[in-house]
Homo-oligomer: A and B are copies of this chain.
């Protein structure tokens, strides 16, 4: 089989390097010698992490996707414009396509998968979610006997690095973000990572594979981590929680919910102990119960590990998400955001006057919300107090109504912070 690669940057270079260093082991597992035969690169002269010996180079990526001698195309250039066009041409030319491009699949996956099905080719994207962790294959194959009830993952390493540093070292958001940028974990414009868009792309893909629903990126409710403060970290810790930026997808009563947001989770849970840039995904199946998959979510060779696993599946024809046959993603109803039930953490800054807590409690009662825990801290000389409240399981609309009412109370000094709590049970 001839394999053409689009892009020889971090991931593409990693693929070439791993194929070279693990040649013997891959031969043992596949019976085949796998080599990249063609590569499209932007700049011939640029220095790169891999050797290009034996690879036919071109600066025109369309030469790869239109080359009749190439059977499999690896799309590793990223983006959703040129990448989409190249993948479409490759599929129409009957080539199998493997990509690490989460945005491409999350946004254009439905049409690309249909196109692949119509052209009898495979379109695989294990590397698009959680880097080297074989989470898509586990969902499709290892857990194939299960109805998946929930997927909850730390699927953005940058965000997890920032929250881990804030929690462990009491650093503030801006300070850690700057370090993350210096370390190369975060982009100059960190919006994609920090505001949860990258995680939402990945959650869209996870949901589709877990539940068999269409890829619907626009149905993910997304909230970033930039508003998490020192006070929230301290309260969370004292209440027995960690704050993690989770992508959560659930299927309840036939309806899907997908949301990316900061989440308080009990410190005793494994997910709470996943720190730094590492990723982990918790999957609950109705037969197997809770399972968890942990590993590197990025990096040249970790991502290459997932790309090559797809490559081996295509070569050995052990592909499970069988776009050739019975398999197609179905439209499924989404749960209305207001109807989603959750436990919530609220943090208020209130003037410490008699009766404030009683007034707040009354508002909760009026909105049918029970309070599971309250913690109060004096913080300044103006007698203002931070108050943290953990509710019971309530509808999102109820907590929003209650918070809006409390916000109007004369003692409240700043915008009320609301964060989801998940017990992960």
Contacts and interface: CB of A to CB of B under 8 A. Distances in A.
A289 B296 contact: yes
A217 interface: no
Contacts of A313: 141, 144
B318 A305 contact: no
Interface string A289-318: 111111110010110111111011100101
Identify which of A144, A146, A304 gathers the most chain B CB atoms within 10 Å of its CB.
A144
Interface string A135-171: 0011011111111000000000000000000000000
A132 interface: yes
Contacts of A320: 316, 318
Copies in the complex: 2
Classify chain A's interface size: 35 or more
A270 interface: yes
A320 to B, nearest CB: 5
A305 B146 contact: yes
Given A22-B287, A320-B318, A294 B270 contact: yes
A312 B320 CA distance: 10
A288 B327 CA distance: 29
A274 B270 contact: yes
Contacts of A319: 318
A179 to B, nearest CB: 20
A325 interface: yes
Interface stretch (A27-35, A105-113, A232-240): A27-35
Interface in A301-347: 301-302, 304-309, 311-313, 316, 318-320, 322, 325-327
B289 A326 contact: no
A137 B132 contact: no
A226 to B, nearest CB: 27
Contacts of A308: 144-145, 287
A302 B327 CA distance: 25
Given A18-B287, A270-B270, A134 B145 contact: no
A280 B290 CA distance: 12
A144 to B, nearest CB: 5
Identify which of A14, A132, A286 gathers the most chain B CB atoms within 10 Å of its CB.
A132
A302 B288 contact: yes
A22 B145 contact: yes
Closest 3 CB pairs of A and B: A134-B142, A31-B326, A145-B308
8 contacts: A19-B145, A26-B145, A29-B212, A30-B144, A142-B306, A143-B309, A145-B306, A270-B273
